Amino acid sequence: MRASRGLHLDYVSLAEYQAAEWPDVLGVATFNGSPGPAPGSAGIPIAQVSTPVLAGSDVYEVWRCGESAESGQHGRVRFRRTRDMLFGCIALKEERGSAQAPLIEATTQAYRQICATLDAEHYPHLLRVWNFLPDINRDSHGIERYRQFNSARQHALRASGRPLTGNVPAASALGAAPDSPLVVYFLAGRTAPTFVENPRQVSAYHYPRQYGTHSPVFSRATLLRQPGCLTLFISGTASIVGHRSLHVGDIGAQTRETLINIEALLGEANRAARSAHFAMSSLACKVYVRRPADLPVIQGQLSSALGDRARVVYLQADICREDLLVEIEGAGMCPLAA
């Protein structure tokens, strides 16, 4: 496996990661069952996420950039950057003695430090953000923890002068193991992406108040143009049409509806960038499964939709709504003619 022009994503084992000896690694995420930082990875930011891997063992999610990069740190944010792109990550434990809900405090600090890093390093545009918080559906301090997270994220972004609607990054927010830290990792750039919404869904930042007093701040997808390459970041996508969850309790129907939503996003992305030809079969996907027993049904649906050679990682994680059983995110790279 060799470096290619533009951003590139690989899902590999530790052994494959070590054997590849890629010189252009921008950042890495690992998941439960994966070892810690690999030998020789000094300076590479590694987000260690506490979500069990299903249908496999150790998994390294490796983002490469096709060029040399340099590492740095700003506060608690570890990052690696090129001229145009930055990968960063931060992990914060919730402090039980804080004056407000510990998750609100941790989320506020994480996003303040992320925004301060991007300001200091001059990468103004968040492209894609991954958020992992323990016990996402549990109530504490009189409110669901996912709603606490949304409130704190929104306040921190507003305080940093960033938009809360429209030009906001693709993102996911999933549950992680109890007592694990809040982990956020992200990609940012110096060039603004194209922000893509799904015509089948209400934009998340316009959800009605029944889902919380502070709406989630993310676009359904973002589309980044680099020299010679287009990259599509698809946010965590589930069985939601309009703003309502569909097919409650039916894992097969939820998976099919989720894939229809992703197909709709691909169509919107291909229209937004007329030279693009994103397709289901070319996506690299992470699939979050609430109930491990549902895995065979989900695998069967994805095999039919993506093909047997698809790059897919399955993780056990709680979804942001308790009635959702599966969530799928994707990334696609499309070369452009010279």
Q: Which residues 6+ apart lie within 8 Å of 328 measured at CB?
A: 236, 237, 238, 258, 259, 262, 285, 286, 287, 288, 302
pLDDT for the residue numbered 275: 80
In the block, residue with structure tokens 């980044």:
224
With contact defined as beta carbons under 8 Å apart, do 213 and 207 qualify?
Answer: no
The length of the chain in residues reads 338
* Kind plus residue range of the DSSP H or E element containing 125: strand 125-134
Amino acid identity of residue 199, one-letter, is P
Could you tell me which residues come within 8 angstroms of residue 327 by beta carbon, excluding any fewer than 6 positions away?
Answer: 172, 174, 236, 237, 238, 258, 287, 288, 317, 319, 320
Instruction: Please give the structure tokens belonging to residue 134.
Output: 């323990």
Residue 2's pLDDT band, with cuts at 50, 70 and 90, is very low
CATH for the stretch 8-335: 3.30.1330.40
pLDDT at 36 over 80: no
Our separate counts of H helices and E strands in the chain read: 5, 20
Strands 46-54 and 25-32: what pairing? parallel
Average pLDDT over residues 90-119: 93
Half-sphere exposure of 222 (CA within 13 A, CB side): 23
The CA radius of gyration of the chain, in Å to the nearest whole number, is 18
Residues 6 or more apart whose Cβ sits within 8 Å of residue 28:
17, 41, 44, 45, 46, 47, 60, 61, 62, 63
pLDDT in tens, 179-216: 999 999 999 999 999 999 999 999 999 999 999 999 99
Residue 130's DSSP bridge partners are: 172, 185
Active site residues: 327
How many CA within 13 A on the CB side of residue 135?
14
For residue 244, list its beta bridge partners.
241
Q: Which pLDDT tens digit goes with each residue over 47-98?
A: 999 999 998 778 999 999 999 999 999 999 999 999 999 999 999 999 987 6
d(CA 145, CA 327): 18
Mean pLDDT of 99-119: 95
Specify the 3-state DSSP secondary structure of 252: helix
Tokens, residue 111: 């996003």
Burial class (CB in 10 A: 0-12, 13-18, 19+), 49: buried
Mean pLDDT, rounded, of the chain: 94
Predicted confidence at residue 230, as pLDDT, reads 94
306 CB neighbour count, 10 Å cutoff: 22
Which residues on adjacent β-strands are paired with residue 312? Answer: 285
Can you give the pTM of this predicted structure? 0.96
Q: How far apart are CA 174 and CA 135, in angstroms?
A: 9
Residue 44 pLDDT > 80, yes or no? yes
pLDDT tens-digit readout, 248-291: 999 999 999 999 999 999 999 999 998 889 999 999 999 999 99
**Distance of CA 230 to CAs 27, 104, 105, 309, 312, Å?**
19, 35, 36, 21, 20
